[in-house]
Structure 1
Amino acid sequence: MREHSKIKRGVYLVLDPGINRAVLLQKVKEALEGGVSALQVWNHWPAGYTEADKKALIKSLVDVAGALRVPVLINEAWELLQDTELSGVHFDDIPANFESIKNAVGREFITGITCSNNLDVVRWASQNHLDYVSFCAIFPSSSAGSCELVRPETIREARKMTQMPLFLSGGITTENLPLLKELDFDGVAVISGILNAASAKESAAAYHHALNKYKP
């Protein structure tokens, strides 16, 4: 089994598997060169995708990211951890059967969860020793879907509750990231800001630079 690092501060890239596979893999390679520190596969598979298709894409991503010890997580579909080398799972909501999931996977894996303004999620994540929390959405964003806008005071209260890594997501750009400099967080999660850029490498590097500038 390949060894993986835990979630590190920095730029967390969420991948849309609906993008042409060859194009997606090329963008991932570029983004990794630009300094992305974690990958998550969004559970939004194209119509007709089989389990074999999913596992083939996951294997390609793990092969590319594993050389740099960058973890690859799956959104929601934790069952894919059982027979792939995925590093972990990101939950959209508190799972009803977390202990059963851990037993079924049968190995250590990274766990994260999305939080809006409900600090009970942060409390649950802390009590259950998750690895990180991602707040969504910080700014309006089409890719953030139905996420409500997170209030700054929610993030401040969350930091008082836990020292686990906190990520911010939803509409974050290199231009508006300075607006968040007063908040105590560890990284940003990005989709279109990198995947839709002319150069994924340059965009990832720009996010990395902006994050280090305002959150050294």
Structure 2
Amino acid sequence: MRKYKPITGGVYLVLDPGMHKSQLLQKVQEALDGGVSVLQIWNNWPAGYTWPDKLGLVQELVALADVYRVPVLVNEEWQLLKETDLGGVHFDHIPPDYEALKAELNRDFICGITCSNNLEVVRWAEQHQLDYVSFCAVFPSPSAGSCEIVQADTIREARKITQMPLFLSGGITAENLTKLQELDFNGVAVISGILNAASAKESTAAYKQALNNYNP
């Protein structure tokens, strides 16, 4: 098992495997150079993508990130952890039998989960000793279209429940982070703000600097 840096916060980049592969790998390399902390492969595979295709892309991404000791997680498809060196899995909802899943994997792995305004998800994550919670969405965003807007009070109450890292996502830019400064969180999860930027390295660095200004 690779030794990754622990997840404590920072810039969490969600990768869209629907992008052209060479473009995606280039953006990932730039983001790693810019200081990204976590990578997650979104469950948005192109039509016709086979299991070997997925395994190949996963291993290429893991190889890139391993140089920086950055973990690569997969969205939902935890079975990929059985055949690759993925660092963990991110769930959109509470999995039906998490203990059986852990027993089947039979190895250490990072696990996080998405939360909207349902604090029972946070309580479940705390009870099962997950590594982080990600709130979706704090601002309107095309890539977070299925997420309801998270209320600030939800995030405040979540911090009373757990001390695990809290990430915020949905429409976040390096500029509008100042609107969130009254909240106690550890990092931001981003898709288009980095993947669609002219320079993923510069965009990642800008998010990182904004977070440092927020929580020096």
TM-score range, shorter chain: over 0.9
Cα RMSD for the two superposed structures: 0.7
Which residue matches 2:103?
103
Per-residue Cα deviation, 1:75-97 (whole angstroms, up to 9, x for no partner):
00000000100000000000011
The CA deviation at 1:198 is 0.4
Provide the rounded CA distance (Å) in 1 between the counterparts of 2:108 and 2:57. Answer: 22
TM-score (norm 2): 0.99
Q: Is the 8 A contact 1:6 1:110 kept in 2?
A: no
Give the aligned residue type for 2:207: Y
Give the aligned residue type for 1:128: H
Provide the rounded CA distance (Å) in 2 between the counterparts of 1:46 and 1:146. Answer: 19
Which residue matches 1:83?
83
Give the aligned residue type for 1:32: L
Which residue matches 1:175?
175
Provide the rounded CA distance (Å) in 1 between the counterparts of 2:25 and 2:51. Answer: 18
Q: What are the equivalent positions in structure 2 for 1:45-124 lying under 5 Å apart?
A: 45-124=45-124
Per-residue Cα deviation, 1:46-92 (whole angstroms, up to 9, x for no partner):
00111111011110110000111100000000000001000000000
Structure 1 residue runs without a partner (length 5+): none
Give the aligned residue type for 1:118: N
SS at match of 1:93: coil
Q: What are the equivalent positions in structure 2 for 1:1-216 lying under 5 Å apart?
A: 1-216=1-216
Structure 2 residue runs without a partner (length 5+): none
The CA deviation at 1:4 is 2.1
Per-residue Cα deviation, 1:15-47 (whole angstroms, up to 9, x for no partner):
000001111000000001111000000011000
Provide the rounded CA distance (Å) in 2 between the counterparts of 1:156 and 1:8. Answer: 18
Provide the rounded CA distance (Å) in 2 between the counterparts of 1:120 and 1:9. Answer: 22
SS at match of 1:2: coil
SS at match of 2:3: coil
TM-score (norm 1): 0.99
Give the aligned residue type for 1:5: K
SS at match of 2:143: coil
% identical equivalent positions: 69
The CA deviation at 1:177 is 0.6
Give the aligned residue type for 1:153: D
Q: Is the 8 A contact 1:115 1:136 kept in 2?
A: yes
Q: Is the 8 A contact 1:14 1:39 kept in 2?
A: yes
Give the aligned residue type for 2:69: R
Provide the rounded CA distance (Å) in 2 between the counterparts of 1:15 and 1:39. Answer: 7
SS at match of 1:73: strand
